[in-house]
Structure 1
Amino acid sequence: MADRLPFGEGASINRPPLFCGLNYQFWKVRMKIFMESLDNGIWDAIENGHFVPKFEKDGSFIEKPWSQWTDAKSKKAKFDCIAKNIITSALNSYEFFRVSQCKSSKEMWDTLEVTHEGTNEVKRARKHALIQEYEMFRMLKGETITEVQKRFTHIINHLMSLDKTFDREELNIKILKCLDRAWKPKVTAISESKDLTSLSVASLFGKLREHELEMNRLNVQEKSSYDSDEENLSLLSRKFSKFLKRNRNKDNNKDRYGNKKSNDFNSNNYTCFGCGEQGHIKADCPNKSKEKKPSYKEKKGKTKRAYIAWDENEVSSSSEDEKSNICLVAEDDDESCSSS
């Protein structure tokens, strides 16, 4: 039944995953799972090499003839052939020619590993670079928990493939520390209520996603409430503007005493303060231009005449005082004569 399923090449549970030269790390993990699902002895043949029954003779080990093999040893030796068949079935033609001359499944596997992962020196360099990336790992601005989990898992898987090991508590602490300040209350709550040594990484990310959904829901409600308040405030502002405009028009039709202003202006009811005639005001007085303004000399002459008149008045007033004094003396003389 499984053979009739519409799976493409490399996507069936009965076929090894296809490798075309790209994403070797992904293919490597899938191949290991596929081989172990068939028999653990297949993966053992790749890790430890081809098994051949031997016997000791004169202090050295010699391969036994095939006719002397037991059924158990024959089965164990056959795992290498099965592994070679699986590897070659999973490769395209270009990758197949890389390993077609290899004698064992282990040799094939090592050839592919060195080709796509590099030598041990290259692996160590990549391992140090990934460790530094792991230590500097931080949540990016605007990044979701799902995106954080994807980047974090990618780094951890690559490090584990290079024989770097992590314990559960170390990974959980790293995840909580990489979050930004908005997550601080949740980080504190998880640290105090959960045992980080027993909590799996997947469970921790699940709890963080739950909190993220709750935060998004509250943000939507807050934004909706803010938009509603802003709309109400805008409506109130428009109504208040209309109210002020309406009252301003009413006030313009009244004087300061509250009486209604007359819209008809009749100049015949006013008297000019310039010429004293009726029918116009001073600003529109026709006699205003006929008045001759005094020149500078006339102003100066008037000033002199006023000064001279002021001097003459002062002299006349002083002479009158002298006359009164003389009269007073004469009167005193008369009084003295009469007394004598």
Structure 2
Amino acid sequence: MTQSIDKQPFFDGTYYAHWKTKMKFFIKSRDYKLWDIVEDGPFVPQRSKAEWSVDDRKKMELNCKALHILFCAFGPSIYEKMSSCESAKEVWDKLEVTYEGTDEVKETNIGLLTLEYENFKMDPEENIEKMFDRFSTITNGLKGYGEAILEEKLVRKLIYSLPESWDSKRTAIIEAKNLKTLKLDELMGSLLTNQIMKKKK
């Protein structure tokens, strides 16, 4: 089922890095000021509510809107864990610690993903689609931890991850394309076309 672009992405406790990226862009698309509240925290007036200025109230309203977006994205079990939070930033930070771990855990996960990336090779029995899915899982995982890789490097990595049976196609791509400007989607299209042609032979 395709999710409506007007509905926040649902989080059930799995694939946190994937959800985190989608939710970040969802909030930004609603109002970039909302993302500022989530990322930096709300301005909490150091006076009674009766003394709040118009600006104070607007900032607190933004916090409530951001909280509403986040809470409505959770199922019952996740909501129970987060319901005591009073700010959107508190929710966001708690989610990161709960599903990404502490800084030490994050560094460990980054290290493991980096090792997977460095050792990545296409399996001889694997098709292009499955290979790309595995590759995307690794690179998106790194991106979720703030370790994005330049597209040029991704393209080169993917090309040189192909097995010997793809040597002729790899050579053709390297000779015909400028790897500095070649897009990952364009590379995938070329590889998929070649895969189809191989099956027809």
Q: Give yes or no for TM over 0.5.
A: yes
Deviation at 1:74, TM superposition (A): 4.5
Larger radius of gyration: 1
Aligned residue in 2 for 1:42: 34
- Number of equivalenced pairs: 200
How many percent identity over aligned positions? 36
Q: Which residue of 2 aligns with 1:216?
A: 199
Asked whether 1:131 is paired with 2:124, we answer no
Asked whether the 8 Å contact 1:168–1:196 carries over to 2, the reply is no
Question: 1:176 is matched with which residue: 136, 139, 159?
Answer: 159
What are the equivalent positions in structure 2 for 1:289-328 lying under 5 Å apart? none
Task: Give the Cα–Cα distance (whole angstroms) in 2 for the partners of residues 134 and 18 of structure 1.
Answer: 28
Q: How has the CA–CA distance of structure 1 residues 183 and 90 changed in structure 2, closer, same or farther, with 3 Å as cutoff?
A: same
Distance in 2 of aligned mates of 1:128 and 1:36 = 29
The alpha-carbon distance between structure 1 residues 77 and 186, as it changes in their structure 2 partners (threshold 3 A), is same
Local SS of the residue matching 2:86: coil
CA offset at residue 163 of structure 1? 1.3
Q: Find the counterpart in structure 2 of residue 201 from structure 1.
A: 184
The answer to whether the 8 Å contact 1:41/1:76 transfers is no
CA deviations over 1:17-39 (Å, ceiling 9, x no partner): 22222222222222122212211
Q: What is the aligned partner in structure 2 of residue 59 from structure 1?
A: none
Q: Contact conserved, 2:121 with 2:161, CA < 8 A, in 1?
A: yes
How far apart are residue 67 of structure 1 and its match? 4.4
Which TM-score applies when normalising by structure 1? Answer: 0.55
Looking at structure 2, the residues matched to 90 and 108 of structure 1 have their Cα atoms a distance apart, in angstroms, of 12
Question: Could you tell me which residue of structure 2 aligns to residue 68 of structure 1?
Answer: 53
Letter in 1 for 2:84: Q
Alpha-carbon separation, structure 1, partners of 2:48 and 2:190: 59
Misfit runs of 4+, over 4 Å: 62-67
* Residue aligning to 1:87: 70
2:149 alignment partner, SS class: coil
Residue from 4, 17, 23 that aligns with 1:12: 4
Q: CA RMSD in A?
A: 2.1
Shift of 1:76: 4.2
1:140 and 2:132 aligned: no
1:66-85 Cα deviation digits (max 9, x unpaired): 54334xx6444422111101
- TM-score normalised by the chain length of structure 2: 0.90
Residue identity in the other structure for 1:203: E
**Structure 1: 5+ residue runs without aligned partners?**
1-6, 54-61, 219-340
Aligned-residue offset at 1:125: 0.2
Distance 2:17 2:150 in 1: 22
